[in-house]
């Protein structure tokens, strides 16, 4: 299997952490697509992923799977023993809902903040920017942090009692927020405590090691 990504990107982080959770890192070939040079918007990459986003999974038979949630679902169910996306229909529904919510209310909002309210990937790549929209999305991301803080006051993990793909999605938001200096409000103690806890997971540590020493 091949993963097209960028070594310290927050969305790529979600898939790298999922790979580590599943013990699949050793079999993966990583192909670097340089976001800062806009390689993800060039025809060669757009031919592989219409959306022009990273990460992208390519299977040995050439099948292409984009979107962190879809890639994680694939990786998690490959061995017939899902640990990240739920075993029962109820778990699967809740995890999917919370993952989507983490994207809409938090991580994707941070992304829009980055691309519109900051220099983003630079003038060569950011062809249209709308700072007002970007700042609104920054505020939305902070509201999302408060929402997840409230949730984590009532349960150990984002979708319930077990670590799941939804935790990885909120973690992606935290990683992105850290990169763009959108601080978590101090009073979000449950979110900060959860963050400290999930940061200790071997999968997250493996991701940090990869970022510190890109291949
Ligand atoms: N919905 C997509 C997913 O879940 O995979 C979003 C992916 C995404 O936005 N990836 C970022 C990207 O391609 C990569 S990174 O910023 O996290 O490194 N951004 C480039 C762009 O121009 O939007």
Residue ranges of domains in the chain, CATH in brackets: 2-82+206-212 (3.40.30.10), 89-201 (1.20.1050.10)
Q: Is 87 exposed, middle or buried (0-12, 13-18, 19+ CB in 10 A)?
A: exposed
Pocket test for ligand 1, best of 53, 72, 134 (most atoms within 8 A of CB): 53
Atom index in ligand 1 nearest the CA of residue 13 equals 17
Token pair for 79? 């061995």
Residues near 114 by Cβ (< 8 Å), separated by ≥ 6?
A: 120, 134, 176, 179, 180
How confident is the prediction along the chain (215 residues), in pLDDT tens digits per residue? 999 999 999 999 999 999 999 999 999 999 999 999 999 999 999 999 999 999 999 999 999 999 999 999 999 999 999 999 999 999 999 999 999 999 999 999 999 999 999 999 999 999 999 999 999 999 999 999 999 999 999 999 999 999 999 999 999 999 999 999 999 999 999 999 999 999 999 999 999 999 998 76
Strands (E), the chain: 2-5, 29-32, 56-58, 64-66
Length of the chain: 215
CB 69 within 8 A of CB 149: no
How confident is the model at residue 25, as a pLDDT?
A: 96
- Residue 210 has φ and ψ, to the nearest 5°, of -65, -35
192-205 burial by CB neighbour count: b if 16+ within 10 A, else e? bebbeebeebebbe
How confident is the model at residue 214, as a pLDDT?
A: 79
The structure tokens 């061995």 sit at: 79
Q: Please tell me what DSSP assigns to residue 158.
A: T
Token pair for 102? 């983490």
Q: Which segments of 32-127 does DSSP mark as H helices, in order?
A: 43-46, 68-77, 89-102, 108-117
Pocket test for ligand 1, best of 11, 17, 118 (most atoms within 8 A of CB): 11
84 C-beta closer than 6 A to ligand 1: no
Residue nearest to atom 21 of ligand 1 (CA): 53
Residue nearest to atom 20 of ligand 1 (CA): 53
Token pair for 135? 């700042």
How confident is the model at residue 44, as a pLDDT?
A: 97
**Ligand 1 centroid – CA 160 distance (Å):** 27
């Amino acid at each position: 299997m091949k993963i097209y990504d960028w070594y310290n990107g927050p969305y790529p982080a979600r898939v790298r952490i999922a790979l580590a959770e599943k013990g699949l890192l050793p079999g993966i070939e990583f192909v670097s697509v340089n976001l800062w040079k806009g390689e993800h918007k060039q025809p060669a990459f757009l031919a592989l992923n219409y959306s022009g986003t990273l990460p992208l999974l390519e299977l040995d038979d050439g099948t292409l799977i984009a979107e962190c949630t879809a890639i994680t679902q694939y990786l998690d169910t490959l061995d017939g023993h899902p640990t990240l996306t739920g075993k029962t229909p109820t778990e699967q529904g809740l995890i999917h809902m919370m993952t989507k919510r983490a994207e809409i209310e938090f991580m994707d909002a941070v992304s829009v903040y980055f691309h519109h309210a900051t220099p983003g990937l630079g003038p060569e790549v950011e062809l249209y920017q709308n700072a007002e929209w970007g700042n609104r999305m920054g505020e939305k991301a902070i509201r999302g942090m408060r929402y997840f803080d409230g949730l984590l006051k009532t349960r150990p993990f984002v979708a319930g009692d077990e670590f799941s793909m939804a935790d990885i999605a909120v973690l992606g938001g935290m990683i992105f927020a850290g990169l763009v200096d959108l601080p978590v409000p101090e009073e979000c103690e449950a979110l900060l405590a959860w963050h400290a806890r999930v940061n200790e997971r071997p999968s997250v540590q493996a991701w940090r090691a990869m970022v510190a020493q890109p291949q």
